[in-house]
Chains A and B, each alone.
Chain A
Amino acid sequence: MNLPEAISSLEAASESARALLASVSNLAGVEEIERDFLGKRSVLVSVNEAIKDFAAEDRPAAGKAIGAYRAEVGAAIAAAREGMSAGEAAARIEGERLDLTIGGRPQERGHLHLITQVQRELEDVFVGLGFQIAEGPEVETDWYNFEALNFPPGHPARAMQDTLYVDLGEQEQVLLRTHTSPVQVRVMESRKPPIYTIMPGRVYRRDTLDARHSPVFHQIEGLVVDEGITLGDLFGTIDAFTRSYFGSSIKARFLPSYFPFTEPSAEFSVTCIFCEGSGCTVCSRTGWIELGGCGMVDPNVFKSVGYDPETVSGFAFGFGLERMAQIRFGVDHVKAFFDDDIRFLKQF
């Protein structure tokens, strides 16, 4: 073998190695080719052995040709090997593929009732304003629901609240509370001022369940009793609540009203959260949405619980949770809150 023969056999081998690699279908085939063309019995070895018989001036060219061959075939084999293993991995992945878009196991989270969610939000706002939370029984006596709250028997304001009576005790003495206000009396009876408390709860009226009425609904009531509390403090507190709950663009408005247990009394409205006051169908084009009632605790109420109206003063306010939820979430039927339709519950 002389130099030209060596070069041509290397070139031929390189060419046939690459041709074989092009048609090989698996990693084992690649490895076989590697053995045949770069291994112990390959052309590489025979050329290497022949070099020692070459003329001295031919040896560098022969070495160079071997290097070129090794690089060329080596690179082709490496490329083929990489292609083969990627393909096989891809095939494995393809075989194990899952469609994750069909979703997980049908293990759903439940949903808190919308009224609970509204109540929690309100509680959180008032706790932030320094209030505590109190509760009371739903079946009350006439004293707590009416008389201690300055609704004497026969008082026309009693007719404002159609009462469900319970068949216990003397006639019309035990009743389903018509508002959360009896809790005010219980809180004041049980402690001394200062009192900064809210009182959420279930209340009852003699109504048929329909789109606008329910025999059962929920209120939240607030009571503050301290020294030097003013009507301005009431308005400011409701203002602070309104901003905190609805946002700073929502304002509170107060108009005189009447409740036996507060004096002066007022109704409070907030800027319509839908039109921001410009007038829409939700607010009957007034720009305001009526939320609830409030006022300064009537001295007669303080007298019923043994507080001195000359030394402490206070305010109370209250509103309906269903109404709040209706306004905020556009629930048009009160009945929806009590049907417990799972499709309704899941919306919130």
Chain B
Amino acid sequence: MRAPLSWLKEFTPLPDDVGAITDALNQLGLEVEAVEEPGREINGVVIARVLGVHPHPDADKLRLVDIEFGVGETQVVCGAPNVVVGMVVAYAGSGATLPGGFTLEPRKIRGVVSDGMLCSSRELGLGEDHDGILDLSQELESGTDICEAMGLDDVVFDVSITPNRPDAMSIIGIARDLAAHFELDFTLPTPVTGAAGTGAQGVTVEVLDAQRCPRFTARMLSVTVGPSPEWMQRRLSLAGMRPISNVVDITNYVLLERGQPLHAFDASRLAGSTLRVRLAADGETVTTLDGVSRSLTSADLLVCSGDDAPQSIAGIMGCAAAEVGEQTTEIILEAAYFDPMGISKSSKRLGLRSESSARFERGIDPNAVIAGSDRAVELMEAFANATVISETTDQYLEPITSPQILLRSERVNAVLGTTLSLDQISALLVPLGIACVSQGSENTVATVPTFRPDITREIDLIEETARRLGLDAIPRTLPSNPDHVGGFSRSQQERRLVADALVGAGLSEAYTLSLLSEKALEPFGYDASTSVSLTNPLRAEESLLRPAILPGLLGAVAFNAAQGNPDVALFETGHIFRRPVGDAIQPDERDHVAGVFAGTRSGRPHDVDRPVDVYDAITAMNTLTDALRLSDVRVVAGEVAGLHAGRTAIVFVDGAAIGHVGEVDGPALGVHSLSAPVVAFELDLGALLRAARLERRYSAPSRFPASGVDLAFVVADGIAGADVLATLKAAGADLLEEIRVFDVFRSEALGEGVRSIAFSLRFRSSEKTLTDTEVGEARARCIEAVSSAHGAELR
């Protein structure tokens, strides 16, 4: 809502201090987004009279204009077609500045010196008109500064109005709040209108849905359509509306001033003097003023003429058919109150918002409808040569009354943390139009005006009290109950641990959008039917909720590759979404963690560079499971869509599959034009955090010497290395302190279908030094166990 200061001042004698008014508006919750002073950029432009108009010797379209500007006379060159002798104009002489910082100086135009220029509306930043120079009122005195003469010293406050304050979507609403704040009088004049001629028949109003249209008024006027007065056009422009004609401008003026939307129909284009308010039929189409044909449903409300032809979508926008134009001589003026919810739903569904709908959907004052209509008639009588033809027809079956609310001072103070007396509270509320009648010393009954539909409960009055008091006046305290302890849950701590472990392992954390395209998911075996889709995505690229993190993370890898950084290690933790389980309507939403390595792992200058491989992903994953001290993690060869079938493993924790690790396959890389190798893991983080942990218990490190034993077996390809390892661990039992694989190779000598796996074992007793015999026995047990379990012989 853009509020010119001069307009506000019509209702309350505000100070000129722009800063003070800005602060006041902010403190009232009417947030000032911008303050504009249109005249500030105009300097030295004065009122002048045209004394003579002569042809330019060297240009058909230019004229030489003699002017008188109070303290002198001069000649300017002018191209405007509308300049005539006697016209009062805006003259910018040498040294004058115009909006945009343009400063004038004498210059030759086609050989004739022009001493400055005559200004159009657009050149002064007053409007869009640039067809001719500004034709000012004859009343203005030559030599007067234009800013002073035309009130351009006005200030416009661009105020952001919250949805609960329909009353503040009007000049009077903002003026009322400011008057209360500055403790000034607020005066709202009652419009004075002429009466209708005797015997005139009223407009017939048929409201077929009183729920959606609790009040509808109409009256007929004769008018002469023409431009509206300059001051009105200027105010409309300042307030952000385009001037059109006196009749239309006046309806807009009243909308802005009083917050009452009005609609003027050309009476000659309506069949009979009848307006019918009814619901639309499903599929009924209308063409609105903006020229768009719109398909309606039975939830939309229409204002129709006597022949049932739609004339407007009620409260939202008129139809082209009965638009007021230059030929209009009689109008029917509609002023109504429509049900806010109905307007809101229609407006939202149609994607059509207007100044009217914005007010109706928040709730205008149902009891100020006639006053708004009267104000328009008053202005039309003054500026559109209007005469009232018919008295007002007012359909208002169930008048909406002011609610009465009990307000307890104890409650006010309990909510705000203040110590206000009942009198102090009343004194804050009364200037807002809220009448307070005390009941004893503690309570008051507040009668809330119908222009404040947001106030229906005691808490709403408490909010008004706080707003009027000023939030700075509320003493700042801390909750007094000491009986609450802050902290992180174990899983919250461990989620930090997981991220920290991966950071330590060299992965940087990525945040990708949780919304993906079907194309990005396809290689991973998901499509729109197996994932969760959005009903109203803005873009196809963001139409599905991610069922896994990895597909989006590859996008981040691709972004980096495109920036010339193909070698990255990234991880992400976050929610993933799968189809709902059972009867649930919400998706199966889980916490996942995924990591990815791409390109080259640099070792230079100390070591060699090498392409990333799947063991990098395994290492990172182990860092994570080790940080969590998981007790049962197993990696088993398997297949997962999107990953290389021969280089993928399923990760089991406590016997359940909770994720996978592997090398990303061609098609998945292709989506992002990535080149191999890219390796990744993705795990169900929630499952990891719930999994069994190694016991945290001290066991004394042995102080006896250790004996190292290396064993290499020839193992068939079908047997997993991890299984052989597990067999050795079991056979080594308590004496086996540590075991690891130290070599894997194939050779012709070994033969087809087998490979050699070499293990390094370290035996140590916690009780004594092991003898050669004891180590030998342990070694033999291990060899025997592997042989019998896997048929693998010692090499």
Interface residues of A in 107-122 (CB under 8 A from B): 107-113, 115-116, 120
Interface size of A in residues (CB-CB distance below 8 Å): 95
Whether B680 is near chain A, meaning CB under 8 Å from some CB there, is no
Within 8 Å by CB of A137, from B480, B506, B586, lies: B586
Among A123, A231, A253, A296, the one with the most B-chain Cβ atoms within 10 Å of its Cβ is A231
B513 close to A (CB within 8 Å): yes
B513 CB contacts on chain A under 8 angstroms: 209, 214-216, 338
Report the minimal beta-carbon distance from A135 to chain B, rounded to whole angstroms.
8
Q: A230-B477, A296-B415 are in contact. Are A166 and B514 (CB under 8 A)?
A: no
Interface residues of A in 213-231 (CB under 8 A from B): 214-216, 224, 226-231
Q: With A110-B508, A139-B587, A345-B509 as known contacts, state yes or no: A237 contacts B503, CB within 8 Å.
A: no
Which chain A residue shows the least CB distance to B162? A258
Within 8 A of B (CB), among A174-209: 174, 176, 194, 196, 202, 204, 206-209
User: Do A164 and B537 touch (CB < 8 A)?
Assistant: yes
Interface hits, B579-638 → A, CB 8 Å = 580, 585-587, 589, 602-607
Residues of B within 8 A of A233 (CB): 417, 477-479
Stretch at the interface among A15-23, A52-60, A262-270: A262-270
Interface residues on B, range: 35 or more
CA A346 – CA B542 in complex, angstroms? 27
Chain B residues near A231 (CB, 8 Å)? Answer: 415-417, 466, 474
| CA–CA, A313 and B416, complex, Å | 11
Mask for A246-284, Cβ within 8 A of B = 1, else 0?
A: 000000011111100001111100000000000000000
The distance in angstroms between the C-alpha atoms of A215 and B31, with both chains bound, is 26
Interface of A is mostly: mixed
Report the tally of A-B residue pairs with Cβ distances under 8 A: 258
Chain B residue at minimum C-beta to C-beta distance from A267: B31
Contact among A105, A216, A228 for B603, CB-based, below 8 A? A105
A240 to B459, CA, bound (A): 26
In the complex where A164-B534, A232-B416, A255-B471 touch, is A112 in contact with B577 (Cβ < 8 A)? Answer: no
**Residues of chain B with a CB closer than 8 A to A160's CB:** 163
Interface segment out of the listed A74-82, A83-91, A151-159 = A151-159
Chain B CB within 10 Å — which of A141, A172, A230, A240 has the most? A230
Check if B238 is an interface residue, CB within 8 A of chain A.
no
Does B475 reach chain A (CB closer than 8 Å)?
yes
Residue contact B535 to A167, C-beta cutoff 8 Å:
yes
Closest-by-CB residue of A relative to B22 is A286
**Contact between B478 and A108 (Cβ–Cβ < 8 Å)?**
no
List, in ascending order, chain A residues with CB within 8 A of B362's CB: 156
Taking A107-B506, A337-B511 as contacts, is the C-beta distance between A240 and B478 under 8 angstroms? yes
A37 on the B face (CB < 8 A) = no
Asked if B457 CB lies within 8 Å of chain A CBs, one says yes
Most chain A beta-carbon contacts within 10 A, residue among B163, B344, B476, B542: B476
CB-based contact B477/A236 at 8 Å: yes
User: A171 vs B603: C-alpha distance in the bound complex, in angstroms?
Assistant: 55
Q: Is the CB of A116 within 8 A of B478?
A: no
Does residue A304 face the partner (Cβ distance < 8 Å to B)?
A: no
On whether the beta carbons of A194 and B535 are closer than 8 Å, the reply is no
Q: Which residues in B have their C-beta under 8 angstroms from that of A127?
A: 486-488
B31 & A232 in contact (Cβ 8 Å cutoff): no
The 6 closest A-B pairs by CB, nearest first: A232-B417, A256-B29, A230-B417, A258-B162, A169-B585, A340-B556
- B residues near A92, Cβ cutoff 8 Å: none
- Other-chain residue from B474, B504, B510 in contact with A235 (beta carbon distance below 8 A): B474
**With A131-B486, A141-B585 in contact, do A167 and B533 touch (Cβ < 8 Å)?**
yes
Residues of A with C-beta under 8 A to B563? 341, 343
The CA of A112 and the CA of B499, in the complex, are separated in Å by 7
Q: Return 15 A-B CB contacts under 8 Å, by A number.
A: A102-B605, A105-B603, A111-B509, A133-B489, A155-B344, A159-B344, A166-B534, A196-B484, A215-B515, A226-B479, A226-B484, A254-B471, A338-B512, A341-B559, A342-B508
| Interface pair A110/B586, CB less than 8 Å apart | no
Residue of A nearest to B499 (CB): A112
Out of B462, B502, B603, name the residue touching A106 (CB < 8 Å).
B603
Once the chains are docked, how many angstroms separate the CA of A110 from the CA of B623? Answer: 13
Q: Smallest CB-CB separation from B346: which chain A residue? A: A154
B514: which of A206, A216, A240 is its contact (CB, 8 Å)?
A216
Q: Are B26 and A154 in contact (CB under 8 A)?
A: no
A173 at the interface (CB under 8 A from B): yes
Instruction: Check if B395 is an interface residue, CB within 8 A of chain A.
Output: no
Which of B115-123, B200-208, B243-251, B566-574 sits within the interface? B566-574
